[in-house]
Structure 1
Amino acid sequence: MAPVNTLVITGYGTNSHLETAHTARLAGSDRADVVHFSDLISGECRLSDYNFLIFPGGFLDGDDLGAAQTAAMRWRSLSDAAGKPLLRSLEEFLDAGGLVLGICNGFQLLVKLGVLPALDGARFERQASLGHNDSARFEDRWVRLLPNPESPCVFTRGLSLLAMPVRHGEGKLVCRDEATLARLAAENLIALQYADPEGRPTQEYPWNPNGSPLAIAGLTDPTGHVLGLMPHPEAFHHVTNHPGWTRGELAPPGTLLFANAVRYLRAQEA
Structure 2
Amino acid sequence: GERPPVALIEPAASARLAVAETITNLAAALIARLSDIKLSANWMSAADHVGENQALYDAVHAVGMELCPELGIAIPVGKDSMSMRTAWQEESEAGEASGEADEKSVTSPLSLVVTGFAPVTDAMRTLTPQINLEQDESDLLLIDLGGGQNRLGGSALAQVYGQLGDECPDLDDPEDLKAFFAVIQGLNADGKLLAYHDRSDGGLLVTLLEMAFAAHAGLEIKLDWLIDEPTQAVEALFAEELGAVIQVNREHTAEVLAQFAAAGIETCGVIARPRYDDQVRVTLFEEPLLETTRLLAQRTWAETSYRLQALRDNPDCAKSEFDSLLDGRDPGLSATPTFDINEDIAAPFINTARPAVAILREQGVNGHLEMAWAFHHAGFEAVDVHMSDILEGRVTLDGFKGLAACGGFSYGDVLGAGGGWAKSVLFNPRAREQFAAFFQRDDSFSLGVCNGCQMLAQLKELIPGAENWPRFVRNESEQFEARVSMVQVEQSPSILLAGMEGSRLPIAVAHGEGRAEFRDSAHLRGMQGSAQVALRYVDNYGQVTAHYPANPNGSPSGITGLTTPDGRVTIMMPHPERVVRAVTNSWRPAGWTQDGAWQRLFRNARVWVG
Distance apart, 1:211 and its partner CA: 0.6
d(CA) in 2 for partners of 1:71, 1:38: 11
The separation in 2 between residues aligned to 1:44 and 1:255, in whole angstroms, is 31
Q: What is residue 13 of structure 1 aligned with on the other side?
A: 364
Separation (CA, whole Å) in 1 of partners of 2:432 and 2:505? 33
Q: Which sections of structure 2, spanning at least 5 residues, go unmatched? A: 1-351
Aligned residue in 2 for 1:78: 428
- 1:197-250 CA deviation, whole Å, 9 max, x = no partner? 1222111211111010010010101111011100001101210111124x7274
Q: Which residue of 2 aligns with 1:82?
A: none
Structure 2 vs 1, CA of residues 182 and 260 (structure 1 numbering), >3 Å: closer, same or farther? same
C-alpha contact 1:67 1:108 (8 A) present in aligned 2? yes
Picking from 543, 564, 576, the partner of 1:233 is 576
State the AA in 1 paired with 2:395.
C
Q: Distance in 2 between matches of 1:112 and 1:140?
A: 23
Structure 1 counterpart SS, 2:371: helix
Tell me which of 456, 472, 477 is aligned to 1:110: 456
Give, in whole Å, the separation in 2 of the partners of 1:64 and 1:249: 43
Q: Does 1:168 align with 2:511?
A: yes
Partner of 2:493: 152
Aligned pair partner of 2:478 in 118, 136, 154: 136
Query: CA-to-partner distance for each residue in 1:34-88, whole Å, 9 max, x for gaps?
Result: 1111111222211011011000000010001211111111101113xxxxx3222
Alignment partner, residue 42 of structure 1? 392
Q: CA deviation at 1:252?
A: 4.5
SS in 2 for 1:155: helix
* Structure 1 residue 93, shift from structure 2 partner: 1.2
- Give 1:145's aligned amino acid: V
One-letter amino acid of the structure 2 residue matched with residue 56 of structure 1: C
1:209-228 map, 5 Å: 209-228=552-571
Work out whether residues 3 and 265 of structure 1, in 8 Å CA contact, stay in contact via their aligned partners in 2: no
| Distance of aligned partners of 1:70 and 1:36 in 2 relative to their CA distance in 1, 3 Å threshold | same
Supply the RMSD in Å over aligned alpha carbons: 2.0
Amino acid across the alignment from 1:211: G
Q: In structure 2, how many angstroms separate the alpha carbons of the residues matched to 1:188 and 1:143?
A: 22
- Output the CA distance in 1 between the equivalents of 2:489 and 2:353: 27
How many aligned residue pairs are there? 254
- Quote how far apart the aligned CAs of 1:161 are: 1.9
Aligned residue identity for 2:388: S
Cα 1:88–1:122 change in 2 (3 A) is farther
Match of 2:550 in 1: 207
TM, length-normalised to structure 1: 0.88
Structure 1 gap segments, 5+ residues each: 80-84
Distance (Å, rounded) in 2 between the aligned partners of 1:36 and 1:128: 26
In structure 2, the partner of 1:101 is 447
1:185 aligned to which of 525, 528, 547: 528
Please tell me the residue identity of whatever aligns with 1:28: G
CA–CA distance in structure 2, aligned partners of residues 164 and 138 of structure 1:
16
Counting aligned pairs with the same residue, the percent is 34
TM-score by length of 2: 0.40
Give 1:3 deviation, angstroms.
4.7
Higher Cα radius of gyration: 2
The code of the aligned residue for 1:105 comes to: N
Q: Give the letter aligned to residue 61 of structure 1.
A: Y
